[in-house]
Structure 1
Amino acid sequence: MPSTLTLAPAPPSEAAERVRLEVREFLAAELAAGSFETHVDTWLSGVDPAFSRKLGERGWLGMTWPKEYGGHERTAMERYAVTEELLAAGAPVAAHWIADRQSGPNLLRYGTEAQRTDILPRIAAGECYFVIGMSEPDSGSDLASIRTKAVRNADGDWVVDGAKVWTSNAHHSHYAIVLVRTAPADPQHRHAGMSQLLVDLSLPGITINPIRILDGGHHFNEVVFDSVVVPGDMLLGEEGAGWHQVTAELAFERSGPERILSTFPLLTAFARRASSDAELATLGRLSARLLALRQLSIRIAAALDRGELPDIPAALVKDVGTTFEADVAEEIRRVVDVPASLDSPDPLGRALAEAQLHAPGYTLRGGTNEILRGIVARGLGLR
């Protein structure tokens, strides 16, 4: 198999297991104190700034970053253990999730010293939140077709016009990293002429419109930019290098345990009750798939520790992982005699309803599975 899809196994990490136990103890105490309730898909729908600050106080945000920027210089495997435990518990981590997962690493890689010094310590403290500004209403996962544009004015600032969609928790966030056209589109070079801007979401001319999901919840948004003036020094990285930068960013977005654990609270609720032959068979089948997917995801974390950028394996993990998340809800629904309802007194019924109502988003966010399969095919030299 080509090297683009070959990843070395993750070495054992005593440090990761130590921090895993610390997180479990913390979560048990928080649950006992009633500070949060377990839900499905909380890395997008569970916004709790106070909880995010608690994680920051314990050094569980910005874990792999340099200490000079508020980080803790720990390994990607230690960070993986922390995020995995938070997801498994259904903890409310959505406020800081994007900033910690990809916006911070993007700033470390491409940001200016002023940008890093100003923003990274606040992310690590659980006090500064980011939104992804990639997809657009008429382009979806085809980022090469974006039309949001930014032009320099006489003062050297950027004037931004356009719209971004599926911007999860923009209404709770402080900044967006926005992919814009800084040069006219060229049909012969579709990936050229794009740049990334750091945009303060409190700037005049920005309108955030809610997009509600099937359960009435609101984390998706449309963000409209109407002649928004962004300071000239808020360019992220190099002008015209937006495609390269966003491709690197997506490796962080697509590979983490959130791509396989969104419905894990439902699976655990089901596991506690499974007793019939059909239920036990379903549990065994889903558990085997989860264990295999976890190994893939962990290998990507280990690759990041080695300084690699596993964008092709990350796309594969996101594809098969989110397909699994949807299958969890469907396979459990088939074998349990529990009505799915958000108002059910039965925790299994509530978790099943949450998983079903969130399911349409699993294989869309982070790039549709069809787009991801195209990325993998190119990595294999098949197209």
Structure 2
Amino acid sequence: MNQLLQTFRLAQLPPEAESFRADVKQFLAEHLPQVPADRRARSWMGFDADFSRHLAARGWVGLTLPPAFGGAGLDAFRRFVLVEELLSAGAPVAAHWIADRQSGPLILRYGNEAQRLAYLPRICRGEAFFCIGMSEPNAGSDLASVRSRAVRTETGWRLNGRKIWTTNAHHCQYMIALVRTSGTPEDKQKGLSQFIVDLSLPGVSIRPIHDLTGDAHFAEVVFDEVELADDALVGQEGSGWEQVNAELAFERSGPERIYSSMVLLDLWATHLRRHGATREQSAALGRFVSHIATLRSMSVAVTAKLARHESPVVEAALVKDLGTELEQAIPAYVESAMSADPDSPPDPVLYRTVAYLSQISPTFSLRGGTREILRGMIARSLGLR
């Protein structure tokens, strides 16, 4: 464990990143939709293409991508600040989120020049939205047991299969899908490749999945004899497992793995200031704040690794696992505290916000890798399995 913890070298956001924070706050003051907290609590699940395009017009979608491809060419620290401010305010970022966070960097790193020129400028303009095609029905958390398959044809590839729990697929134009191009599911990591799939192609069907809250963030996507061009392949055939792990490091490394319940925590703190807090409630609030501070420091340390062009796969998994516990603990505690005082009429916005997060928080430990998968990765890094 000491060896793993030593990789979290204390890092500070540089002055230029901190000064960038004021610009982001000013932008949010001008462009953040005026909606109640229970809507803002959706934040990185909240789809608002107009907001994303306003953000893109400032150069803040594809912030770390090179200017040659339409990006701002800024560092990972400033992206950390941007994400932290957006999520703390509850900004609806889902439209551009995946393309900015992982699809764009993946294409930059593994795609060819034609793919970079075709997709990255459109991502940076807020015109191309991506979803992730990883999970499959009946596979649980075993990502390597992919059954969707692409076979070579005279003109490219023919794709068949299904993906599930695909966030916002019904709103996106493209998916980067992990599929099998050789071997069988028993081969696990071998024979996997990634493809950019245009979701408007014939043979693609998308079925939104409604959750307990009534929202439809997720979808099931079916590929039935979908014809892909030869240049749909990202990187090298058979290198999909290496590529998808690099992509997951981007997905798990940001502050979004800490701040999913931040709007609720701010709202609850305001409620306690107005109506008074018991000693136990004050202590709980202090614990949450101290945990957030610690996890934030760890997340900044992961960001420092990204800034050094390292791939902090295990470190990101650890932050994601610990962050998920905190994100789920906040609504659980606030709900318990409110129900313990039934004679005090709750603020209706606070009630709706905690109700939403209590229903959606079980998904926090599913998205981006389940707790069991993450802990298995951590155990392997420690030589425990």
TM-score bin (small chain): over 0.9
Paired position in structure 1 for 2:365: 363
The code of the aligned residue for 2:217 comes to: H
Q: 1:28 Cα shift?
A: 2.1
1:366-381 equivalent positions in 2, closer than 5 A: 366-381=368-383
The code of the aligned residue for 1:286 comes to: F
Asked if the contact 2:146–2:185 (Cα under 8 Å) also holds between the matched residues in 1, the reply is no
The code of the aligned residue for 1:371 comes to: I
Which digits, 9 at most, give the CA deviation of each residue in 1:259-295, with x for residues without a partner?
1111110000011122222221111111111111111
Q: 1:332 Cα shift?
A: 1.3
Asked if the contact 2:36–2:349 (Cα under 8 Å) also holds between the matched residues in 1, the reply is no
Paired position in structure 1 for 2:72: 72
Identify the match of residue 262 of structure 2 among 257, 264, 274: 264
Asked if the contact 1:162–1:224 (Cα under 8 Å) also holds between the matched residues in 2, the reply is yes
1:207-286 equivalent positions in 2, closer than 5 A: 207-274=205-272, 275-286=277-288
Q: 1:2 Cα shift?
A: 2.6
Asked if the contact 2:4–2:382 (Cα under 8 Å) also holds between the matched residues in 1, the reply is no
Paired position in structure 2 for 1:309: 311
Paired position in structure 1 for 2:321: 319
Which digits, 9 at most, give the CA deviation of each residue in 1:215-261, with x for residues without a partner?
11001001010111111111000000000000111000011111111
Identify the match of residue 332 of structure 2 among 322, 330, 333: 330
Structure-1 separation of matches of 2:324 and 2:175 = 24
Paired position in structure 2 for 1:109: 109
Is 1:90 aligned to residue 60 of structure 2?
no
Paired position in structure 2 for 1:180: 179
The code of the aligned residue for 1:127 comes to: E
Structure-2 separation of matches of 1:84 and 1:141 = 28
Q: 1:193 Cα shift?
A: 0.3
Asked if the contact 1:208–1:221 (Cα under 8 Å) also holds between the matched residues in 2, the reply is yes
Structure-2 separation of matches of 1:5 and 1:197 = 36
Asked if the contact 1:152–1:159 (Cα under 8 Å) also holds between the matched residues in 2, the reply is yes
What TM-score, normalized to structure 1? Answer: 0.94
Task: Indicate how the Cα distance of structure 1 residues 337 and 237 shifts in structure 2: closer, same or farther if over 3 A, else same.
Answer: same
Structure-2 separation of matches of 1:139 and 1:243 = 16
Paired position in structure 1 for 2:31: 30
Asked if the contact 1:36–1:91 (Cα under 8 Å) also holds between the matched residues in 2, the reply is no
Structure-1 separation of matches of 2:24 and 2:341 = 33
Asked if the contact 1:338–1:349 (Cα under 8 Å) also holds between the matched residues in 2, the reply is no
Structure-1 separation of matches of 2:203 and 2:340 = 48
Paired position in structure 2 for 1:20: 21
Percent identity over the alignment? 49
The code of the aligned residue for 2:114 comes to: A
Task: Indicate how the Cα distance of structure 1 residues 282 and 114 shifts in structure 2: closer, same or farther if over 3 A, else same.
Answer: same
Q: CA RMSD of the aligned region, Å?
A: 1.8
Asked if the contact 1:52–1:127 (Cα under 8 Å) also holds between the matched residues in 2, the reply is no
Which digits, 9 at most, give the CA deviation of each residue in 1:120-161, with x for residues without a partner?
011111221100000101113211111000001122x11111
Asked if the contact 1:61–1:125 (Cα under 8 Å) also holds between the matched residues in 2, the reply is yes
The code of the aligned residue for 2:201 comes to: L
Paired position in structure 2 for 1:144: 144
Which digits, 9 at most, give the CA deviation of each residue in 1:293-339, with x for residues without a partner?
11111111111001110000111111111111111111111222599
Task: Indicate how the Cα distance of structure 1 residues 186 and 149 shifts in structure 2: closer, same or farther if over 3 A, else same.
Answer: closer
Q: Which runs of 5+ in 1 are unaligned?
A: none
Asked if the contact 1:279–1:336 (Cα under 8 Å) also holds between the matched residues in 2, the reply is no
Is 1:7 aligned to residue 8 of structure 2?
yes
Asked if the contact 1:282–1:332 (Cα under 8 Å) also holds between the matched residues in 2, the reply is no
What TM-score, normalized to structure 2? Answer: 0.94
Task: Indicate how the Cα distance of structure 1 residues 339 and 153 shifts in structure 2: closer, same or farther if over 3 A, else same.
Answer: farther
